Structure 1
Amino acid sequence: MDISVVVPLYNEIESLPELTSWISRVMDDNRFTYEVILVDDGSNDGSWEMIRKLNTGNPFIKGIKFRRNYGKSAALNTGFEAAKGNVIITMDADLQDSPDEIPELYRRIVEEKYDLISGWKAKRHDPLSKTIPTKLFNAATRRMSGIHNLHDFNCGLKAYRKTVVKNIEVYGEMHRYIPVIAKWAGFAKIGEQIVEHRPRKYGKTKFGISRFINGLLDLMSIFFVGKFGKRPMHFFGAMGTLSFFAGTICVIWIIWEKLYNLAHHIVPRQPTDNPLFYIALVAVILGSQLFLTGFVAELVARSAHERNKYQVEEVI
């Protein structure tokens, strides 16, 4: 099979007939073998009944229904597990992503050998309350991830080699960072394609400021897990060493100050009257806690079933 189109959705009943008809037309025009996997993330507006109806009219349209709303990451991960195509395309169900982009995305994955192509909505039809946080989010993600060639990490329209989606796990709110997850998994050839951003035709946006805040927290989680997931002591031990070092410097200064005062017959002040005493105390305690956290994290990492699971690209 050439292409699997994975579409996560939540309360998008109005757009589904038009979207699936558009996708099928593009696939037939380009003679692709395909499947469309519609993942209903606990909709309560009749979306699942519509998916059933669409499946009856077109066997290439498949559906997965969650019992409740789990979030976009869960929907994508489940869709990835079910996908059988050599190239997987993801897009949103609100018709703001154009299926006409699929042939070029497919070509670049197959011919240019990209692992992942992320869409870039260079011209957006969104209010400033959404575009400004998005720009800040993308700038922070580029800086922390080192993927400097992507302008829009959160674009729903993406294309993947099958190997990529079968070797990554998307959970929580991590769908925003799939390029980062792919990079940490060893899939380094990541590209970008300018895509059309269409005005929303049905329904309303699911974007909220809480998603922006949660997104930054998830970015920090991905950065830590990706870099230190198999060696947490390297992080906590380094921080603990710095804290101990700072505390030691403070202690040496307090001792030197007291000895200097005694040598010059100056009445020394009590150590507890010196603010550095409390800084040293906090630094030493914090260093101890960081070391203990590192040891516990190492035990957890060594007990994890995937501790020796690595990305193997080829064996001969």
Structure 2
Amino acid sequence: MASSNLLLLLLLQALLILLSPASAAGSNVFAEYIGAEFKGVRFSDVPINPGVNFHFILSFAIDYTTSSNPPTPTNGRFNVFWDSANLSPSQVAAIKREHGNVKVAVSLGGDSVSGQPAYFKPSSIDSWVANAVDSLTTIIKKYHLDGIDIDYEHFQADPNTFAECIGQLLTRLKSNGVISFASIAPFDSAQVQSHYLALWRKYGHLIDYVNFQFYAYDASTTVSQFLGYFAKQSSNYNGGKVLVSFTTGGSGGLSPQNGFFRACRTLKSQGKLHGIFIWSADDSKSNGFRYEKQAQTLLAS
């Protein structure tokens, strides 16, 4: 009798976990890049819906020097290039304490450093991985971070070298318990895709989310085109959780004004909406984060 009661209790607990809105296997992820543009935005400025898995992504940590002008590559020795005055270790700890559904990651690379392209430029696979594991472990522990995002956009290394460097980095950080999740942030460029697809083919099992930059498509993108792009990238990153995205910085892609949320509702009805991310909180501050609220409401419903 006692064993059957215990079994019933375990089944009820499992059912409650499955029904919990914040546990839907990562299917309601809302992610927001923050800190790249030094506009004074803080974590506490951004509205956080308790019904989503919320990821702040600090932008960026880059393996370039902070002291030289211009900055030069450091072969995997990462430095902080985000607005650390407003997004400090104590502020990371505070926002996670206040909101149990919040995790914080750091994005690596980005488009530029001091106005110049930020290149992925390792001296060798082994030396880059050793330096990256060491320097990122220090940053991640200091800032109480949970994950990393890979957002290199310029390369002075072939796709296989990129795949091995990043793949071995993810392997080490995950096996060491330093991070609990990882994402990549490719966009539709032949050079970019060749590098990220090489990584995906060999190390896709270590990548939890594909933060595909749909806002890198043309600003004239229609809802039907957007859904086609989503299908294409879901096929490219087969088996991955491809998150949809838009920018509040006024550049390309399908905007909220032109039907982004209509496209999201279509994907949600098909069971394909894994999450939404926005570039970026820095730009959204001026409009009161209206689209952040709308995106999270849609995911949480």
TM-score bracket, shorter-length normalisation: under 0.3
The alignment's TM-score, normalised by the length of structure 2, stands at 0.23
Higher helix share: 1
Larger radius of gyration: 1
| Structure showing greater relative contact order (alpha-carbon pairs closer than 8 Å, 6 or more residues apart) | 2
Please give the TM-score of this superposition, normalised by the length of structure 1.
0.22
- Structure ranking higher in strand proportion: 2
